[in-house]
Structure 1
């Protein structure tokens, strides 16, 4: 049985690159799940120009989760892929603002920030 705080990811493709849809609490335990999803996304679409993490389903993010997002940015950009966060919930957006991470990460708050996905 799943616990309400479980963290899950789903991978979707777009013409620009993959979208990782994140749901649940992004904390220390979830950081490895997010990292694995990002590596899988980059491996599946080698022609990706942009990688988007859709945070609309993330209900909580602590400093370990924030660290995972910052590390993801570094790793994707090393691969030549632009990294975006899309549709952060209020709790996540607030953490990004308080820490100044919203000045380092590309954060798109509007619903059309997530391109229409297709199957990978």
Structure 2
């Protein structure tokens, strides 16, 4: 089952959802604020994606800025960063789309369309 991890009040998540519906792609929604990802899930998703862990942080989010993570992340281990991401769904870049074996982070229509070919 394809899973769209997002936040209902996020306009980018809504665009991704509308895109998937228009493309006829079935998916299940997982609200990241209510159903936070565990550190283990974050680790597994990141490993599967092949992306650097930094890509999973919502760097434009209020929580990220309030915690001054731009300065703190470089000195943290990956395990510490994964544990931190698990504490608050608003720290996580969204949407995350688990599509088969693929992981898409953030919505870019062209990139998602390519990944679905």
Same-fold call, TM > 0.5?
Answer: no
The TM-score, its normalising length taken from structure 1, stands at: 0.26
Name the structure where strand makes up a greater proportion of residues: 1
Higher normalized helix content (fraction of residues): 2
Higher relative contact order (CA 8 A, sep 6+): 2
Whichever of the two has the greater Rg, that structure is: 2
